[in-house]
Structure 1
Amino acid sequence: MPITSKEISVEVNGHQWSLPAGSTLRDALKVSSAPYRAGTAIGILKKTAEKKTEKITEYAINTSKGEFKIEIETLDSPSGKIWAEHFKEYEGAPVHWTGQEALAFGPFEAELKPERGIRNFEAFDILFGAGGFDSANTHLIISRKRHAAEYGTPDDGVFAKIISGKSVLLKLSRGDSILNIEPIIEWEQLAEKACTADLSTPLEDGASIFTYFEVELSRNSPVGAEHFYALTREGTFNINFVASSFISDDALKGEITPYENFEPRAAGAISFRTIGYGTGRAYISREDRPSSLVHSVVGSVTRGLELVKLAEQGQNLTVESLPPQLILLGHSFDEVEPVLSSIGVELVKEGYTEKDSVIVSQSPATTLEIFGEAKVTAFAVPASKLIEVELYPEKAPKSVDFFRHSLELKTKPVGKLPVSMVYENTYLFKPEKEAVKYKEVMPENSPTNKILAGEIGITNQAAKRMGNIGVKLEDDDLFGPTGEKFSSTNIIGRILQPEKLKGIREGDAIYITEVLRK
């Protein structure tokens, strides 16, 4: 469509559209039918010019055994300046010597002032050293591990770090050499940038709009991918923290994600922290970063990385995942069988198979493994054994978190809850999963006058049976749902159909699904 003076041209997720002058984000969404979840933020970029980065900080070094990248940490230091002015002269430099602690390319002549003395170096440090303290016998030295040594290094010491391709260092030996060195030139866009959820925001001619980002999940990380599906169950990634090199979502913080995939965290890489502070936190890299022993990479952004880079703390972003998650739990065989058949996945039915069946477990447990095997075995129970609960996270946040963690409701739509005891109108449960990371359940939302039939209670740390879960089918003004006094009880929610508990016995199991309050 030709553009008139009364029209503007905008780009929505890479596709051009013409709109009347004065149009807003809402108009762009309407005409483009772009993927978008209500309330999420949209990135807007109005390009006006671009210029070459004045100071180059990253270089790609291609060797006979592969490429690694370095980042200059001290641009204004003597060593940093020597590198910037002479790096092309190091092309062709052979590996002169190697050891467990370091390797060296060279020799070559450089205008540096060697210094005597032992220095400490970290793994992947890069420095100049002078053999025999002679600047005509200079080497480019790369530290392979933390160590102390005397290399005749100038006073400014380490001037760069390896940021990717670290595995190449293990392959290099005498006979290898540097083939070429290329600066990584970034182009800075001088632009008006915005990221907003306000759909009344006016648009200008030439604006680029990003409504969502797309993720391709890695078959090397089937469990981690399932955690990402759980994290983005509502089709959004919620930004709890923003740094120059990443954004993160803390919704699954505390949930252990196994380490499955060791690879560089290139811009757009999605990873979960697997150990230490922040375990379970999801990250999306905004810049290239090296592999990490505490970050398992589960996928990468294949479209819409601009939105990730524009987003701000506290915002939510629309996300779509490839392949889409296969959700069996909570559905009947009749619902899932045609879907699985259409994508060539064989369904093996176990357990209860009548019309009112509800699937409560499956093997393989993850979407990517199901696609890989083209087969899944699903176990179902009667719908009467699936209990819907409404939880009160705003009243008892720690206790609700305990409950969700114990039943794996943070990562699965259905959780199993074994029955440990039944007496009179009281039902007690003990989750199969030990909530090891929770050392105490502090009192919160404890009843004062009475508890109501169907309310779910957890015994708090004021009693010996901390962590027990209970429900009563009748109101009680003396004891809580777990049979404890009120001060030892935390009320975390309610069962929507408590009559479904009638008839269950000790040793049975019920299955729980959470219903969000309307």
Structure 2
Amino acid sequence: MIKVHVDGQTKEIQEGATLKEIIPDIPEKYSVAIIKSSKSSEYKTKNIRFFTSSGEVVIELNTRGIKLFSDDYFRKLFDKKGKSSASDVLSVKWSDRQATTFGPFKSAIVPDRKQHRYNKGDVILGCGGYDPENSYLIFSRMPHVADHGADKSGGVIGSVVSGKNSVHTWKPGDIVKNAERIVSTENTSDSFATTDRSLQLEDGMEIITHVTISAYGYDKDKISIDASNSVEHMLITLKGGEFQADLNSSGFVRDEKMKKSTVPQEIKKSRLEGTVTVRTSGRLEGSLYIYTKDIPGSPNHTVVGEIKHGIELVKLIRKGDAISVKTIPGQIDLRGLSLKESLKILNKNGIKPSIDDNSGERVVIDQKPPNTMEVLEEKKVSLKTVPLSNVIGIRLNDTDAPRTCGIFREVTGLRWYNIGKMPLLFKYDDVTLFQPKVPRKITINIENTPRDTVPANMLAMTNDSRRGVGLVGVRTSSNNEFGPTSEPFSATNIIGEVIETDKLSSLKEGETVYIREI
């Protein structure tokens, strides 16, 4: 018998056992981390983090700064818990458009009594009245020339690399609540990520099968909704329990499946190892990032969570790999679910429902509050439903029409929720036409057009070659001349099929039609 460790749990297995035998429930498309041996050592980085009453700031220290914040000196300023040892230590004493000062405290500097030039973001050790007994940390807000009572070097001990916005919000009365030297772990292990389930296991191996992400603001005893919209975007991205590494950089991995989505900037913090963010602007807006190294904060990213388990797996995956992901909490999005199933989920989470109609079989089409964190915080939710007979099942063909299917999901709402909708334009003979609102900026290129005959019940979207671009249609009989939108084959992009065609007969022109993927 040999011992292996799976997600922190020790298991005894027969010698010669394979990876598949101990993780049969993990889909084989997902990479898992294999760590054969591990030698970890902690070392102090050249960064120090200040937790102030107006936000976090990370300072990258230069050689002089590292010497200043030696362990002995650090202990004099802060107690063992990192908190200020006196109420008047490191509080804002004065602030103007050029700089903000924190102090006073004792230092051993010898004032130069001359002006020096400083850059925006510089952190300076100076003193008041040329008295080292009244020394200060001075944060430069803008390029300027001044005499801050520094030594002949100018007194620059580092620069702000994260939390720059906080520097501009500090005012008298703000304090440094606590501080810490940032410690990193160096791992020299024989490790790799693999999808090969035939891998033979060895004694002492560690296997990491998944990643667990805790959403920003979530605590089982108290919920914060400060990031509820961007956290919901993360939960949508990971709805299938999968993170796809579309890019693997030296400091992060990125999942682009929800790029080009509008996401608000809600939480700007340091992007430390294990931090999860969403990009809020630019070409990749909506993409999800997991950081494998400390990176300064950015106004183009909003923090949505942090890794609680599996950072080793994130560090080992390659571009194109997919991994299994669990979120805390799980998403509470009831749209598209049956009312019966929805009530079970709400009961499990201790949430009180308010229902517009609970007669017969019904499907949830909307919920208020709309986001998971808000539902958990309020402990109640209002549900809007429709009869099951009003919801039509469809199947989309991503293999042959990936771009058009993507457009269809976006304009109907299926990209974000498990139910979509579109208005019924009109019906005649065997044709039913729908008119979802397609933004002008979206181009529907020719894709997966039919050749000889269009079978019955195919779902299609008119491409840019005709004036009726964006129309969606279904024809309940086959046709060898026109497509489901009554356009020539060259203008018809086949995107899938309607499964529940029996429901089409009851539809009325002008009404909203609800659809679900089956």
Q: TM-score range by the shorter chain?
A: 0.7 to 0.9
- Tell me which of 200, 207, 210 is aligned to 1:209: 207
Aligned to 2:292: 286
Indicate the larger mover: 14-23 or 81-90.
81-90
Deviations 1:215-265 (A, max 9, x none): 222442333333333322322211111123322111111222333444444
Deviations 1:304-355 (A, max 9, x none): 2332233222111111222223353333333333443344333333257214
- The 1:308/1:114 distance shift into structure 2, 3 A limit, reads farther
Aligned to 1:77: none
Aligned to 2:19: 25
* Cα distance in structure 1, aligned partners of 2:156 and 2:374: 49
Deviations 1:60-100 (A, max 9, x none): 3577988632224xxxxxxx333334444796788786322
* Cα distance in structure 2, aligned partners of 1:104 and 1:339: 52
Find out whether 1:71 has 2:71 as its counterpart: no
CA apart distance, 1:279: 1.2
Aligned to 1:44: 34
* Cα distance in structure 2, aligned partners of 1:287 and 1:43: 18
Q: Which amino acid aligns with 2:31?
A: A
Aligned to 2:169: 170
Indicate the larger mover: 60-69 or 262-271.
60-69
Find out whether 1:83 has 2:65 as its counterpart: yes
Aligned to 1:142: 139
Deviations 1:161-217 (A, max 9, x none): 3335853663355x9898997643434222111111222323333332211122222
- Tell me which of 226, 231, 239 is aligned to 1:225: 231
CA apart distance, 1:418: 1.1
CA apart distance, 1:442: 1.6
Aligned to 1:426: 431
- Tell me which of 475, 479, 482 is aligned to 1:476: 479
Aligned to 1:309: 315
Deviations 1:116-172 (A, max 9, x none): 9977x45x34467999xxxxx99865333xx44335997999953333585366335
Cα pair 1:225 1:298 within 8 Å, conserved: yes
Aligned to 1:4: none
**RMSD of aligned residue pairs (Cα, Å):** 3.9
Cα pair 1:69 1:164 within 8 Å, conserved: yes
Deviations 1:378-431 (A, max 9, x none): 233333322222222232222111100011112111101211222332222122
CA apart distance, 1:376: 2.6
How many residue pairs match? The answer is 489
* Cα distance in structure 2, aligned partners of 1:344 and 1:61: 38
- The 1:298/1:499 distance shift into structure 2, 3 A limit, reads same
- The 1:196/1:422 distance shift into structure 2, 3 A limit, reads same
* Cα distance in structure 2, aligned partners of 1:138 and 1:341: 59
- Tell me which of 385, 394, 405 is aligned to 1:389: 394
- Tell me which of 359, 368, 373 is aligned to 1:368: 373
Aligned to 1:505: 508
Q: Which amino acid aligns with 1:250?
A: E
Q: Percent identity?
A: 29
Indicate the larger mover: 104-113 or 307-316.
104-113
- The 1:266/1:159 distance shift into structure 2, 3 A limit, reads closer
* Cα distance in structure 1, aligned partners of 2:329 and 2:53: 37
Find out whether 1:398 has 2:403 as its counterpart: yes
* Cα distance in structure 2, aligned partners of 1:117 and 1:369: 51
CA apart distance, 1:277: 1.7
- The 1:226/1:139 distance shift into structure 2, 3 A limit, reads closer
Cα pair 1:428 1:468 within 8 Å, conserved: yes
- The 1:99/1:501 distance shift into structure 2, 3 A limit, reads same
* Cα distance in structure 2, aligned partners of 1:490 and 1:450: 13
Aligned to 1:488: 491
Q: Which amino acid aligns with 2:32?
A: I
Aligned to 1:184: 182
CA apart distance, 1:27: 4.0
Aligned to 1:199: 197
* Cα distance in structure 2, aligned partners of 1:98 and 1:334: 59
3-state SS in 1 of match to 2:506:
coil
- 1:403-422 counterparts in 2 under 5 A? 403-422=408-427
3-state SS in 1 of match to 2:39:
strand
- The 1:159/1:427 distance shift into structure 2, 3 A limit, reads same
Cα pair 2:54 2:169 within 8 Å, conserved: no
Cα pair 1:128 1:154 within 8 Å, conserved: no
Indicate the larger mover: 86-95 or 321-330.
86-95
Find out whether 1:160 has 2:159 as its counterpart: yes
Aligned to 2:84: none
- The 1:337/1:87 distance shift into structure 2, 3 A limit, reads closer
Cα pair 2:276 2:306 within 8 Å, conserved: yes
Find out whether 1:11 has 2:1 as its counterpart: no
* Cα distance in structure 2, aligned partners of 1:209 and 1:447: 48
Find out whether 1:102 has 2:99 as its counterpart: yes
Aligned to 1:3: none
Indicate the larger mover: 182-191 or 422-431.
182-191
Cα pair 1:422 1:428 within 8 Å, conserved: yes
Find out whether 1:253 has 2:259 as its counterpart: yes
* Cα distance in structure 2, aligned partners of 1:66 and 1:422: 59
Q: Name the TM-score, length of structure 2 as normaliser.
A: 0.80
* Cα distance in structure 1, aligned partners of 2:275 and 2:247: 16
- 1:258-337 counterparts in 2 under 5 A? 258-337=264-343
3-state SS in 2 of match to 1:314:
coil
CA apart distance, 1:460: 1.8
* Cα distance in structure 2, aligned partners of 1:94 and 1:344: 44
Cα pair 1:114 1:154 within 8 Å, conserved: no
Cα pair 2:247 2:255 within 8 Å, conserved: yes
- The 1:114/1:180 distance shift into structure 2, 3 A limit, reads farther
CA apart distance, 1:363: 2.6
Q: Name the TM-score, length of structure 1 as normaliser.
A: 0.80
Cα pair 2:19 2:198 within 8 Å, conserved: yes
Find out whether 1:59 has 2:35 as its counterpart: no
Cα pair 2:59 2:158 within 8 Å, conserved: no
Q: Which structure 2 residue ranges, 5 or more long, are not aligned?
A: 78-88, 129-133, 218-223
Q: Which amino acid aligns with 2:460?
A: G
* Cα distance in structure 2, aligned partners of 1:50 and 1:422: 68
Q: Which amino acid aligns with 1:246?
A: F
CA apart distance, 1:14: 1.8
Find out whether 1:464 has 2:467 as its counterpart: yes
Q: Which amino acid aligns with 2:162?
A: I
Q: Which amino acid aligns with 2:261?
A: E
Indicate the larger mover: 147-156 or 205-214.
147-156
* Cα distance in structure 2, aligned partners of 1:504 and 1:150: 74
- The 1:195/1:445 distance shift into structure 2, 3 A limit, reads same
- The 1:480/1:197 distance shift into structure 2, 3 A limit, reads same
